[in-house]
Amino acid sequence: MTGKRLRLGIVGTGENARDHANASREIDVFDLVCICDTSLVALETFGEVFGCENRYTDLAQMLQEQALDVLVVSVWGVHHAAVAMEAMVSARVRAIVVEKPISMDAAEAQLMVDTAERTGVLLIEAFKWRYDPQHSACGEVIASGRIGEVKTVMGVFSSPLTDRLDVSNWRYRADLGGGSLFDSASYLVHFSRFVMGREPTSVVGTRGDGADVRRGASELSASLLLDFGGGRTALLQSSYAQAFCQEVMVIGTAGWLRYMLPFDSRGSRDGELMTGTPLAATVDLFLNDFTHEVLTFPPCNQFVAQLLHVQNCLAGTALPVTSGAFAVGSMLVLDAARESFATRRIVEL
């Protein structure tokens, strides 16, 4: 780690942007020096809450006037690629954290990765759960062979958002990057590829839209079956129309793991989103000899953990836990899922 103070900028001032800003307050070396949004009202409100005086409605002007160590891109998904690449080519930013999923499709993601490599900018897709200690610890369990060869991943990530969100909310608009596939199933796709340690060979999926056509073109639920070859599969389900549930199981030939709070440990729910003090996470480990262990992990503010990791990467004391190529791989799966939704067929990768 380094004692140098790090200058942070944020593009977008919505719910996730507030979490990133709050995280920066928890890490002494970060200074939130500038924010950018097209909404003056949102910009002023955010700026007052976080004491940030440099407020911009134009990204180019902000980049011209502010040299940054880290830029967080927390805008609608349709704008991720354009904002990130404008920042990269400006030569005014050292690292960019882009909210998940990284782009609208694999082609955009590859262009972002290529631009990052050409400009030397550190590009990170903001799956903050990757920095939660439960995942590194369980990754070691899997790598050790205690549960044998991983054969199956099963996962659910759902929230009752249809009862809580106005029909105008961006999550109901596929053209903005909304929909359960991108918003929730993307976690499950990333997780299954991570624990399998390989890429799927095919994807088949179905979408659920509900009866309310006013909700626009995005899917309210997504069910996916990923075939990893050799009898390895992942069965994944996400939804905006089910109870709060996040649970994944990793089943091997000698045992299995059940994660009870894998992705979002924020402990209370305020309106549409989870907020509040993080909860402790538990993972059950079951072995074929009927041994049962409970792995318990202290509460983790994943936004803080993610920003600390970026700090360490910039200091040269850590390597990114995920790569641009891995982000592209996730987008290839999501692209295939959308194709399967449309054709009702298995899509080969």
Q: Give the angle 221-96-276 at the CA atoms, nearest 5°.
A: 55
3-state secondary structure the chain: CCCCCEEEEEECCCHHHHHHHHHHHHCCCEEEEEEECCCHHHHHHHHHHHCCCCEECCHHHHHHHCCEEEEEECCCHHHHHHHHHHHHHCCCEEEEEEECCCCCCHHHHHHHHHHHHHHCCEEEEECHHHHCHHHHHHHHHHHHCCCCCEEEEEEEEEEEHHHCCCCCCHHHCHHHCCCHHHHHHHHHHHHHHHHHCCCCCEEEEEEECCCCHHHCCCCCEEEEEEEEECCEEEEEEEECEEEEEEEEEEEECCEEEEECCCCCCEEEEECCEEEEEECCEEEEEEECCCCEEEEEECCCCHHHHHHHHHHHHHHCCCCCCCCHHHHHHHHHHHHHHHHHHHHCCCEEC
* Same CATH fold assignment for domains 6-128 and 133-264+266-299+320-348: no
Domain boundaries in the chain? 6-128, 133-264+266-299+320-348
Buried-exposed string 185-212: b where 16+ CB fall within 10 A, e elsewhere: bbbbbbbbbbbbeeebeebbbebbbeee
Q: Give the angle 8-12-18 at the CA atoms, nearest 5°.
A: 70
What CATH class has 133-264+266-299+320-348? Answer: alpha beta
Task: Find tokens 């989870």 and name the residue.
Answer: 274
pLDDT < 50 regions, the chain: 1-2, 213-215, 269, 271-272
Q: How far apart are CA 15 and CA 251, in angstroms?
A: 35
pLDDT score at 269: 45
* Backbone φ and ψ of 245, nearest 5°: -155, 125
Instruction: Please write the tens of the pLDDT for every residue from 315-345.
Output: 999 999 999 999 999 999 999 999 999 999 9
6-128 CATH: 3.40.50.720
pLDDT score at 165: 86
Return the amino acid letter for 143.
Answer: A
Burial of 251 (0-12, 13-18, 19+ CB in 10 A): middle
68-73, strands of its sheet edge to edge: 55-56, 30-36, 6-11, 68-73, 93-99, 122-126
